[in-house]
Structure 1
Amino acid sequence: MTTPNSFLVISALGKDRPGIVNALSKKILDDGCNIADSRMTVLGGEFAILLLVEGQWNTLAKLENALPELEQELDLTIITKRTEERTPSSNLLPYAVDVVAMDHPGIVNHLAEFFSQRSINIEDMMTSSYAAPHTGTPMFAVHMNVGIPSDLHIAGLRDEFMDYCDGLNLDAVLEPVKG
């Protein structure tokens, strides 16, 4: 009988440079663990990493004990937290939300408020700023995945969301996540 794996979330932040992912992933592998899920990006001049690492409880403990030295060696700020495997919810429908607008403060907060008031969980979100082609107008884009409770009327929610976004001058799409 095999023991179920344990899970550890690792968050690391440091000055962007080549080799960070290599060093972290090598340490995780060398300590007998595996990266189950990850998000990595450059924000400003900083490299941000979120990792879900899985392994036996003792291999995760070994990794946790080795991270302070790696933190110093790589000049990173590393935070860890034990977690459990996510239990999929059968009553949530996965939907994608895409919003584009002229950049102005409060877009993320308005979207978060809309979904929060309806008990809709934002499961993943990415934002970016860019200059519009030809005009150079500052633009802001949001992509998120949300879990919509299956008892909500989707067509009504979509209409309500589109009206809400129109009132804020946001171009938006709400559609099922495709395979």
Structure 2
Amino acid sequence: MKSNLVMTVLGPDRPGLVQSLSSVVADHGGNWLESRMARMAGQFAGILRVECPETEAEGLVAALKTLEKDGLSIQFAREQAAEAPTRQTVSIDVVGNDRPGIVRQLAAAISGAGGNVEELVTGLESAAMSGHPIFRASGTVALPEGAAVEAIVTAIEKLSPDLSVEVK
């Protein structure tokens, strides 16, 4: 039987950090299934999902915890395999002027239209002509089967006339 662990890792970035994590996973018969990792303000931030034999799960967690001596903070959760409801997913790309609270507004618009944020990457870009900060968000939104994709677009566009929304 297999055990799936979802974990977050946060700590000072350094060369070899991912190699250390992946070596511990492999040493316990684990398989690194998926991850998202980034360097932000000198910190490593990652979320990952690994699978290992059930008999190795506790040993894997204990071995990963030993990396905390290097300044890492690691949180674990066992993956709960539940029957997923039927849904459709869409990719979104939102661009507009940056302002405080824009992510909160975007998340509220998506949720209010019945969507669930599955993945979201946000950042700032420099406007081509003026150089002022432009907000960009790209990600995946899940909608209940049969829900109107246009509801997401309408909800986001109602936030501000400067927002451009593309859904695929």
- TM-score when normalising by structure 2: 0.90
Deviations 1:27-86 (A, max 9, x none): 1001111111101011111110111011122211111111221221x3211111112346
**Which residue of structure 1 lines up, in the alignment, with residue 154 of structure 2?**
160
**CA–CA separation in structure 2 for the residues paired with 1:15 and 1:86:** 34
The partner residue of 1:137 within 112, 132, 135 is 132
**Which residue of structure 1 lines up, in the alignment, with residue 88 of structure 2?**
93
Paired letter, 1:52: R
| 1:84 maps onto 2:73 in alignment | no
* Aligned residues of 2:157 and 2:164 also touching (Cα < 8 A): no
**CA–CA separation in structure 2 for the residues paired with 1:17 and 1:50:** 17
Distance 1:129 1:56, change over 3 A: same
**CA–CA separation in structure 1 for the residues paired with 2:89 and 2:153:** 17
**Which residue of structure 2 lines up, in the alignment, with residue 58 of structure 1?**
55
Give unmatched runs, 5+ long, in structure 1: none
The partner residue of 2:64 within 45, 64, 67 is 67
Shift in Å, 1:134: 3.9
**Which residue of structure 1 lines up, in the alignment, with residue 123 of structure 2?**
128
Shift in Å, 1:87: 4.4
**CA–CA separation in structure 1 for the residues paired with 2:117 and 2:166:** 15
Distance 1:87 1:168, change over 3 A: farther
Distance 1:35 1:87, change over 3 A: farther
Distance 1:154 1:129, change over 3 A: closer
Shift in Å, 1:169: 2.0
Distance 1:8 1:162, change over 3 A: closer
Give the 5 Å matches for 1:19-58. Answer: 19-58=16-55
Paired letter, 1:161: A
Distance 1:68 1:114, change over 3 A: same
Count of residue pairs brought into register by the alignment: 168
* Aligned residues of 1:38 and 1:52 also touching (Cα < 8 A): yes
4+ residue stretches of structure 1 with deviation over 6 A?
A: none
* Aligned residues of 2:35 and 2:49 also touching (Cα < 8 A): yes
Give unmatched runs, 5+ long, in structure 2: none
**CA–CA separation in structure 2 for the residues paired with 1:159 and 1:144:** 13
**CA–CA separation in structure 2 for the residues paired with 1:137 and 1:36:** 39
| RMSD (CA atoms) | 1.8
The partner residue of 1:104 within 75, 88, 99 is 99
Work out the percentage of aligned pairs sharing the same amino acid. Answer: 32
* Aligned residues of 1:7 and 1:85 also touching (Cα < 8 A): no
